[in-house]
Amino acid sequence: MLGRVRSLAVSQERIVLLTALALFVAFSVFLKGFLSSGNLVSLVRGVSTLGILGVGMAIVVIGRGVDLTIVAIYAMAAAWTLHLANLGIAIPSAMLLGFLLALSIGLINGVLIAYVEIPALFATLGMASLVYGFVRFALVPLYVVYMPASAGAIAWIGGGFVWGVPTPVLFFALIAFLGFLFLRFTKPGRLVYAIGDNFAAARISGAPVRTIVVLQYVLSASIAYVAGMITATAVASMNTNVSNSSLIYDVILVVVLGGIGLSGGRGGIRNVIVGTLLIGILLNGMTIMNIQYTLQNVIRSLILLAAIVLDGIVNPRDEQTAQQGDI
């Protein structure tokens, strides 16, 4: 039984990978200029922050949680950093403060979920509005924060090139690699799988489950801050309203699409990369084809629905999920 589920779970990632490959081949054949190296770089670059956020989300989802604050942290901590820089605070201090803000939000999330035992869905949903509201009310009075000229020294984070490759792509590669190392080779990383697979069993066998849960949310918050600074420096501004946008669904889409089941315990960074690339290929192709905005939304939503249905088929509700309930 377990063997069958496992082989099917792999096959979802395969299906997505094959879809991505099929689209890739089709676009290469039918869309002039799609296969050019410049376009492929801009394809990956366009989804690199999405992919980075996906890595953060994956670490949480594998542990059978979900982090709906990830986009709020991404937008608001980076916006506060820019705002502090605008007020004349030195860039390193501004970045440190922004990072500490992200870190403390992650810590609060973790404590709420691990110790106060609020379901992750509600804790992080509430925190997302709180983070947006609090930062807008107390820290960043403006809706859009622009990067001051004094921040020119960090413009390379989102707008630079190394060996001709845009830095956001390199950051995506680096964070994906670190996430892979964490999940695959460290003890806390392995425990994330154990907790996601069976929380009670992990606790009974002596795993420090609460600490690990806190660690997951701290990690996803830190990753969100990095993604936020990449965006902020790439477009020389941060629009705090991104916090209320549909970006959070795109992040979940990347994770679920790649084959990381929402019921936890399965999948890895490879799934995030596959999901991100599929979205990237799709967005890039639709842009080249000049597909109308509303139709693009329809196509994207249909793919999300298909991915969730597929997830339900290949990771069916069994005795265990029925007992634990969905997230």
Contacts of 86 (CB under 8 A, 6+ apart): 145, 146, 148
Beta carbon nearer to other proteins, 218 or 283: 283
Query: Shortest Cβ distance from residue 237 to other proteins (Å)?
Result: 5
Please report the beta strands in the chain, taking only residues with DSSP state E, as ranges in sequence order: 144-146, 161-162, 165-166, 237-239
Compute the distance between CA of residue 167 and CA of residue 163 in angstroms, rounded to an integer: 10
Query: Shortest Cβ distance from residue 72 to other proteins (Å)?
Result: 14
Q: Residue-wise over 220-245: b if at least 16 C-beta within 10 A, else e?
A: bbbbbbbbbbbbbbbebebebebbee
| 81 is a contact residue toward other proteins (CB under 8 A) | no
| 12 is a contact residue toward other proteins (CB under 8 A) | no
Query: Shortest Cβ distance from residue 324 to other proteins (Å)?
Result: 34
| 212 is a contact residue toward other proteins (CB under 8 A) | no
Beta carbon nearer to other proteins, 244 or 324: 244
Query: Which amino acid, one-letter code, is at 79?
Result: A
Query: Shortest Cβ distance from residue 4 to other proteins (Å)?
Result: 40
| 152 is a contact residue toward other proteins (CB under 8 A) | no
Among 166, 196, 259, 267, binds other proteins (CB under 8 A): 166
Among 23, 28, 121, 136, binds other proteins (CB under 8 A): 136
Tokens of 179: 């996430």
CA nearest 180: which of 254, 272, 102, 65? 272
| 46 is a contact residue toward other proteins (CB under 8 A) | yes
- Taking only Cα atoms into account, the Rg of the chain, rounded to an integer number of angstroms, comes to 20
The half-sphere exposure of 249 on its side-chain side, counting CA atoms within 13 A, is 12
| 88 is a contact residue toward other proteins (CB under 8 A) | no
Beta carbon nearer to other proteins, 45 or 266: 45
Tokens of 148: 């001051």
Residues making contact with other proteins (CB under 8 A) = 32-33, 36, 38-39, 42-43, 45-47, 49, 86, 136, 141-144, 146, 159, 161, 166, 231, 234-237, 239, 241-242, 244-245, 283-284, 287-288, 290, 292-294
